Amino acid sequence: KKFGVLPETEYEMEEIREVEKYVKEQE
């Protein structure tokens, strides 16, 4: 996995995407 200048922010964005995907599947 390739990270940008702020690895922590990139990681958080990935987490948010996973959560949003999970929430959409629950509806």
pLDDT tens track for 1-27: 565 667 778 888 999 999 999 999 998
Write a three-state SS string for 1-27.
Answer: CCCCCCHHHHHHHHHHHHHHHHHHHHC
Rounded Cα–Cα distance for residues 19 and 6 (Å): 20
Model pLDDT, residue 18? 95
Model pLDDT, residue 19? 94
Rounded Cα–Cα distance for residues 26 and 21 (Å): 9
Query: pTM for the full model?
Result: 0.49
Model pLDDT, residue 4? 61
